[in-house]
Amino acid sequence: MDEQGIIQKTADHVRVLLSGDSSGHDWFHVERVRNTALAIAREEGADEFIVDLAALLHDVADWKFADGDHTASPRAARRWLETQELVPGVIEHVEEIVASLSFKGAGVATPMRTLEGQIVQDADRLDALGAIGIARTFAYGGHKGQALHDPAIPPQMHASFEAYKSNVGTTINHFYEKLLLLKDRMNTAAGKRLAAERHAFMERFLEQFFAEWQGQR
């Protein structure tokens, strides 16, 4: 099995699929998640080939762009992997990670069975935090036509994935409905360390945002 060749072909495949995206789910998002995941994998002693493949494929046919179909992404990942010469178990492992990765609401647990899955999940969530996370949140909000902020619309702590998928809120609410919850849902030591700093940055941003909203600064 030519692991490096498969990784290169997969990267080329995903780069083409996600080119031109303006929602914050573009190739550069995948590349950042991949780099972070591989760094954590080396620290944790995980299978870097599985981590690399799952990080590369984690956002193909994302449910947010597939009419809410949460099975679209793992199916797309499997279809691609079945075109490659892989040893038994690799396709199933990567498909499982892609299927289980996403945040599904404040009240919905999203455990990862394997260390490789935990690492890719942490890396993806880290890209939703900090300065990059803030930029991506507003890019996605604009893409979806969401209001920037409306004090009359409170955040919703969704108890089910269906409620989370159907939510029509504001971009600022998304910080409270998801982003500020991620720090305490990290799996690995590296993920927790990096998330703490990025979480603190977002808190400072929100403090400044609301002060400016009230005309205090």
Q: Using one digit for the tens of pLDDT, what is the confidence trace for 195-210?
A: 999 999 999 999 999 9
Provide the whole-model pTM: 0.92
Taking 50 as the pLDDT cut, the residues of the chain under it are 66
Q: What is the pLDDT of residue 169?
A: 86
Task: Count the domains in the chain.
Answer: 1
Please report, for the domain that includes residue 24, its CATH number: 1.10.3210.50
CB-based contact 90:81 (threshold 8 Å):
yes
Q: Are 33 and 58 in contact (CB under 8 A)?
A: yes
Instruction: State how far the Cα of 207 lies from the Cα of 215, in Å rounded to an integer.
Output: 12
Instruction: Say what the pLDDT of residue 67 is.
Output: 57
Q: Which domain holds residue 181?
A: 3-213
Alpha helices by DSSP H, the chain? 3-18, 27-44, 48-57, 72-81, 90-100, 115-126, 130-144, 161-166, 171-177, 189-213
Q: What is the pLDDT of residues 67-95, one digit of tens each?
A: 556 788 899 999 999 999 898 899 999 99
What integer pLDDT is reported at residue 172 of this predicted model? Answer: 97
